[in-house]
Amino acid sequence: MIDANRVFLYDTSLRDGGQMRGISFGVRDKQIIADLLDTLGVDYIEAGFPGANPVDTDFFADLPPLKHARFVGFGMTRRAKLESSTDASLQTVLRCKAPAVCLVGKAWDFQVTEALGIALETNLSMIEDSIRAAITAGKEVIFDAEHALDGFKNNPAYMIEALITAHRAGARWIVLCDTNGGSLPTDILRAVESLSAHIPHHHLGIHCHNDADLATANSLAALEAGARMVQGTINGIGERCGNANLIPILANVAFKYPHLTLGTAGHHLEQLTPIARSFEDVINRIANPHAAYVGSAAFAHKGGLHISAIQKNSTLYEHIDPARVGNQRDLVMSQQAGRAAIMARCQSLGITVEAKAMEEFLEELKRLESQGYSFDGADASFDLLARRRLSPFPPFYTLRSFRVIDERRWNAKGELITLSEATVKMDVGDTHHMAVAEGNGPVNALDRALRTVLSPFYPEVNAIRLIDYKVRILTPTAGTEAVTRVTITSKDHDDHVWTTVGVSGNVIDASCHALQDSLMYFLMRSEGVCS
């Protein structure tokens, strides 16, 4: 029995997502992403175009095993002048190892007559023949109706006829594509409702692009109108402004539409945050902190009133419990947060604070914030500060002095190069040390010099990777004399991420503060001073 309320998730990160500027997948990337998608529990993974390029050819030759999802090969309906059996591209798709194929065809009369330059009838035969050939080849067929929304606006009768043709030919799914991404939720609602009079709604799907920032809303509108397949990508990657983002769509279906059901994905919701973030690693981007549901700021509270309210009852300022999507609440520390919030944070760090010490700590916080420090987003520096003031621990090292020299010169090959050299003098325990290191820039050189001294004592520091470095001018009117705030985000081998901050009139000095906090925080955790 078909569950007419079951929503099927169709991921196209590996095909449509790969069209995004700055992204190119190798075979290994595709394998890792397919594994993430399978763990997330999506129903279909569109793997690419069989035979169209070397990466896809290699990937399809050796598709990794999946626990839940089905692979889909993507291709076009047959060409106008060829038969299905003689169209080599279509045949390659039909012979691919994936159990399902997605065939894209035209549903807008203008595209048929203008772009293809063929008769409207011919386009219908191309759709019908290609789908029948795919079914004969034993495939489950998904029909992506390109420009379906434009077709519906301009010539609804033809658009509907094209989609009915695909359904009659045996396609399991008929998917309306908002190819140009400019539709509104009401457009989608109307199109899906009209089609439902001709094709059972649980055979309809939606494929949105985010050009009007409406891809999530449009996908949900289609589901409200009865469509039951959503196509999209992880974190909304895709050409131009991206495809529909499956992460919030999945979470919204799970939490906001009680009558809709999900397959495996419905049981793996706590995987959403780790998977969305791991995906960013694979594509070499920094995860968006403000991403709905899964961003590090999605449940961050800063205002004192919000923080004290949320400690009484989280539903006062949160639409869902962050743990349900594998995320966590973050109480942003600043003087604004108020005494109660800072006390709560210290308690969670295992620090017991007396009233007098707390007053001094708040004063210190006020002073640092007036200098330009911001612990908003720099939790590691806040924790370090709280511990130093309220529950001192023996320092792992002391930096006595540092010096950085930059040099620009022509090398032996005749190229103009810039190199930095850093010298540090440090105490570790009772011993004095000096180290010199080179780097492509002053921060890099300094980082290397610090680690050169520390690694014999604390070899684990070599596992730290700097993943983001930001400089912000705090006094822009001061020109090059401006005070700068440097924020550094680091990561260890366990994927633990932490952020530290430094402020100074000298950008190298500010960087050095942030860098040192990062090392100190890491040592504090790895040496068991805090959790």
Q: Please state the closest distance from residue 303 (CB atom) to Zn ion, in A.
A: 40
Indicate the SS3 state at residue 390.
helix
Both tokens assigned to 340: 């109660």
CA distances from 161 to 118, 127, 178, 511 (A): 16, 11, 18, 63
* Amino acid letter, residue 197: A
Cα 334 from Cα 375, distance rounded (Å): 6
Q: Please state the closest distance from residue 463 (CB atom) to Zn ion, in A.
A: 39
Q: Please state the closest distance from residue 207 (CB atom) to Zn ion, in A.
A: 6
Cα 351 from Cα 348, distance rounded (Å): 7
Q: Smaller CB distance to Zn ion: residue 208 or 422?
A: 208
Cα 273 from Cα 144, distance rounded (Å): 29
Both tokens assigned to 357: 């010490």
Residue 116 phi, psi dihedral angles, 5° rounding = -85, -25
Q: Please state the closest distance from residue 173 (CB atom) to Zn ion, in A.
A: 15
Q: Contacts for 392-396 with beta carbons within 8 Å, 24 or more apart?
A: 393/524, 393/529, 395/520, 396/428, 396/454, 396/457, 396/458, 396/520, 396/523, 396/524, 396/527
Closest CA to 296 of 270, 331, 267, 346: 331
Both tokens assigned to 101: 């194929």
Both tokens assigned to 297: 């700021």
Q: Please state the closest distance from residue 147 (CB atom) to Zn ion, in A.
A: 11
Q: Please state the closest distance from residue 7 (CB atom) to Zn ion, in A.
A: 19
Q: Which residues bind Zn ion (CB under 5 A)?
A: 16
Closest CA to 390 of 333, 454, 336, 347: 347
Q: Smaller CB distance to Zn ion: residue 179 or 374?
A: 179
Q: Please state the closest distance from residue 70 (CB atom) to Zn ion, in A.
A: 19
Q: Smaller CB distance to Zn ion: residue 206 or 287?
A: 206
Q: Smaller CB distance to Zn ion: residue 16 or 187?
A: 16
The answer to whether 154 touches 110, Cβ cutoff 8 Å, is: yes
Q: Please state the closest distance from residue 30 (CB atom) to Zn ion, in A.
A: 18
Q: Smaller CB distance to Zn ion: residue 248 or 502?
A: 248
Question: Measured at CB, which residue is nearest to Zn ion?
Answer: 16
Q: Please state the closest distance from residue 162 (CB atom) to Zn ion, in A.
A: 17
The answer to whether 279 touches 291, Cβ cutoff 8 Å, is: no
Q: Please state the closest distance from residue 105 (CB atom) to Zn ion, in A.
A: 14
Q: Smaller CB distance to Zn ion: residue 238 or 502?
A: 238
How many residues does the structure list for the chain?
531
Both tokens assigned to 178: 């908002």
Q: Please state the closest distance from residue 243 (CB atom) to Zn ion, in A.
A: 6
* Sign of the C-alpha dihedral computed for residues 250, 251, 256 and 261 taken in this order: positive
Q: Smaller CB distance to Zn ion: residue 231 or 518?
A: 231
Q: Smaller CB distance to Zn ion: residue 237 or 515?
A: 237
Q: Smaller CB distance to Zn ion: residue 10 or 279?
A: 10
Q: Please state the closest distance from residue 305 (CB atom) to Zn ion, in A.
A: 44
The answer to whether 442 touches 422, Cβ cutoff 8 Å, is: yes
Q: Smaller CB distance to Zn ion: residue 16 or 128?
A: 16
* Amino acid letter, residue 279: F
Cα 7 from Cα 481, distance rounded (Å): 58
CB atoms within 10 A of CB 298: 22
Q: Smaller CB distance to Zn ion: residue 16 or 383?
A: 16
Q: Smaller CB distance to Zn ion: residue 102 or 162?
A: 102
The answer to whether 46 touches 292, Cβ cutoff 8 Å, is: no
Largest CA distance in the chain: 87
Residue reference for tokens 């920032």? 213
| Summary count for the chain: helices (H), strands (E) | 17, 17
Both tokens assigned to 417: 């190069």
